[in-house]
Amino acid sequence: MTDIEIARSVQPQPLETVAERVGLEPGELLYYGYNKAKIDRRVFDRVRDREDGKLILVSAITPTAAGEGKTTVSIGLADGLRRIGKRTVAALREPSMGPVFGVKGGATGGGYAQVIPMEEINLHFTGDLHAISAANNLLAAMVDNHIYHGNELDIQRVVWRRCLDMNDRQLRNVESGRGGKTNGVPRDDGFDITAASEVMATLCLCDDPQDLEERLGRLIVGYNSAGDPVRAAQLNATGAMSVLLREAINPNLVQTLEGTPVLIHGGPFANIAHGCSTVQATRLARKLADYTVTEAGFGADLGAEKFLDIKCRQAGLWPNACVLVATVRALKSHGGAPKEALATPDLAALEAGLCNLTAHIETLHGAFGLPLIVALNRFVTDSEEELEMVRAHCEKLGVRAVPAEVWAKGGAGALELAQAVVEAAESSSGEPNFLYPDEMPLADKIRTVAKKVYGADDVAFSEEAEQGLARLTELGMGSWPVCMAKTQMSLSDDAKKRGRPTGFTLRVRQVRASAGAGFVVALTGTIVTMPGLSKRPAAVEIGFDENGQIKGLF
């Protein structure tokens, strides 16, 4: 059966029953239909003094067209942990509709390791991303309106961009305000995708509604003639923005096919933003559960590094163990095997591709010092010789590789993985080990990530980037962590370089302050903040079948 057929064959459990498994009471659920709800903020106060459960971070090797199944393994692991008697909650990101209609279709797992209601989650869900877009664009409108009506704040350069929850390359660079004086002030402008917006990052890193409003006030919308930043608070925009986000700030509760509770909340991209679900969802999950399974987007060089150096640094978190997802197919792709040959056993290509797995192990287990389990997301075409080669390679590097068959078996296919994770987490100190200290200069933070995580020889900063780093340091942002905007398809800044590239220099062309989120974004290579659709986007396959059911989403 297909993913969608499997999901439709399973009868969802009442959400009240799912909530009860982690001590949530019926009156604490704010329903959006039958199978999804927001969690009332009173719960945060009720569970505040509880001891935190264990935190498990799931990451992956560098993505390939073969697929790695990080979300599928995260869901299957959560089900597996519950099967061995652990009170478990998964904390995952919300899908953006841009990728759903653009590159890959749905993003709620697969097979018997899925989150439901999958179609609703992948489309409008509870409206969080729309609320973020509205708050972002309200601020943009207030900036241009302020300039139109006299510009009392002397805004000379606008840096605040509008956003849209859809891939649309046509909007990357536009000229706005055309058509005469009554239509505004003409200027070069552009759009970001909502998942890469600063409002998204700000909401995902805030502690509570009060902290959110304070962070929104710090958003930099432009600079005056003296070169000083003009912030959202000076436009009196933060109150209205907070009102638009009043429901979006609350975590969303759904369930896996096996009835394990899942908090899906926040959806920043990991190749542009910090790639993790919200701080609030993670904290709440740890109060509700013995084990919280969370994931960070794309490979460990992006999502995991940012989860650890940005989210954990700001929120006072640290994982008790980490799971690194890999597939034999993807490793063969990194070793040079063509996509059409990935189902054929090929020990030579696999051996050549193990260098990518090694790089991520050295980052998570070596540089960050995390207890690490490699989850071999198994395909029926994997040969025993190939699986043994990966297991032996991991053993040489001091980590354990465990098979996961969650697509075919759900939680039952993750029992060995769940037990290995428990053993690793129980032996963990949970002490943070960041890649760089706060006081390190911003340029050196970028170099540290580039050299220790990506394997770069050095970093080349454009003149614009050097000037930007100097100015942001003058403005008091030198102690902030850095958020690397880089292609997810390679450890380098060149998407065509697979495996473990060497002998390259990372190119940083521009830096931006994400003042509400509290980090500095470094744009590398040719990365853009508004993706485009592929030549044949997933949208062309999506529609209704003869029974009125959605087709083509998965």
414 is catalytic: no
480 is catalytic: no
Tell me what the mean pLDDT of segment 523-534 comes to: 92
Are 69 and 94 within one domain? yes
Q: Is residue 10 a part of any domain in this protein? A: yes
User: Which of the listed residues 244, 274, 306 is the one where a domain comes to its end?
Assistant: 244
Q: Is residue 541 a part of any domain in this protein? A: no
Domain total for the chain? 3
Among residues 90, 113, 270, 515, which one is catalytic?
A: 270
The residue with tokens 């994770």 is 421
Instruction: Give the tens place of pLDDT for each residue, 225-280.
Output: 999 999 999 999 999 999 999 999 999 999 999 999 999 999 999 999 999 999 99
Q: What is the pLDDT of residue 285?
A: 98
Among residues 269, 379, 461, 554, which one is catalytic?
A: 379
Share of the chain above pLDDT 90, in %: 87
User: Residue 127 and residue 138: Cα distance in Å, rounded?
Assistant: 16
Instruction: Give the tens place of pLDDT for each residue, 177-209.
Output: 988 877 888 899 999 999 999 999 999 999 999
Q: Is residue 287 a part of any domain in this protein? A: yes
Q: What is the pLDDT of residue 4?
A: 78
Q: What is the pLDDT of residue 106?
A: 65
Chain centroid, CA 50 distance in Å: 27
pLDDT bracket for residue 554 (50, 70, 90): confident
496 is catalytic: no
Residue 169: give its domain's CATH number.
Answer: 3.30.1510.10
pLDDT bracket for residue 323 (50, 70, 90): very high
Q: Is residue 70 a part of any domain in this protein? A: yes
Q: Is the pLDDT of residue 536 over 90?
A: no
CB 539 within 8 A of CB 525: no
Among residues 125, 191, 269, 298, which one is catalytic?
A: 298
Look up residue 289 and give its DSSP letter.
Answer: -
Q: Is the pLDDT of residue 105 over 70?
A: no
User: Which of the listed residues 399, 426, 453 is the one where a domain comes to its end?
Assistant: 426
User: Which of the listed residues 244, 259, 292 is the one where a domain comes to its end?
Assistant: 244
Instruction: Give the tens place of pLDDT for each residue, 381-414.
Output: 999 999 999 999 999 999 999 999 999 999 999 9
Are 384 and 479 within one domain? no
Among residues 104, 172, 391, 471, which one is catalytic?
A: 104
Residue 459: give its domain's CATH number.
Answer: 3.10.410.10
Retrieve residue 28's tokens: 């604490």
Q: What is the pLDDT of residue 104?
A: 59
104 is catalytic: yes
* Average pLDDT, rounded, for the chain: 95
Nearest to 475 by CA among 223, 214, 114: 223
User: Residue 105 and residue 119: Cα distance in Å, rounded?
Assistant: 10
Residue 22: give its domain's CATH number.
Answer: 3.40.50.300
CB 411 within 8 A of CB 80: yes
407 is catalytic: yes
Are 218 and 257 within one domain? no
Among residues 269, 407, 461, 480, which one is catalytic?
A: 407
Burial of 42 (0-12, 13-18, 19+ CB in 10 A): exposed
Are 369 and 517 within one domain? no
Are 277 and 216 within one domain? no
Are 77 and 218 within one domain? no
CB 230 within 8 A of CB 169: no
Long-range pairs for 468-472: beta carbons < 8 A, 24 or more residues apart:
468/510, 468/511, 468/512, 469/442, 469/443, 469/511, 469/520, 471/227, 472/442, 472/511, 472/513, 472/520
pLDDT bracket for residue 549 (50, 70, 90): confident
Among residues 21, 36, 93, 332, which one is catalytic?
A: 93
Is the CA virtual torsion 387, 391, 396, 399 positive or negative?
A: positive
Instruction: Give the tens place of pLDDT for each residue, 352-390.
Output: 999 999 999 999 999 999 999 999 999 999 999 999 999
Q: Is residue 499 a part of any domain in this protein? A: yes
Domain that holds residue 282: 3-126+248-426
236 CB neighbour count, 10 Å cutoff:
11
Tell me what the mean pLDDT of segment 325-334 comes to: 97
Are 64 and 172 within one domain? no
Are 334 and 456 within one domain? no
Residue type present at position 140: A
Instruction: Give the tens place of pLDDT for each residue, 446-483.
Output: 999 999 999 999 999 999 999 999 999 999 999 999 99
Among residues 72, 202, 358, 529, which one is catalytic?
A: 72
Instruction: Give the tens place of pLDDT for each residue, 19-28.
Output: 999 999 989 9
- Where are the alpha helices (H) located in 291-404, listed in sequence order? 305-306, 313-315, 328-334, 347-361, 384-396
Are 240 and 278 within one domain? no
Q: Is residue 198 a part of any domain in this protein? A: yes
Q: Is residue 267 a part of any domain in this protein? A: yes
Are 71 and 199 within one domain? no
Are 278 and 387 within one domain? yes
- HEC string of 172-218? CCEEECCCCHHHCCCEEECEEEHHHCHHHHHHHHCCCHHHHHHHHHC
Q: Is residue 49 a part of any domain in this protein? A: yes
CB 475 within 8 A of CB 515: no
- Where are the alpha helices (H) located in 484-543, listed in sequence order? none
Are 10 and 88 within one domain? yes
72 is catalytic: yes
Nearest to 491 by CA among 298, 308, 351: 298
Tell me what the mean pLDDT of segment 52-75 comes to: 94
108 is catalytic: no
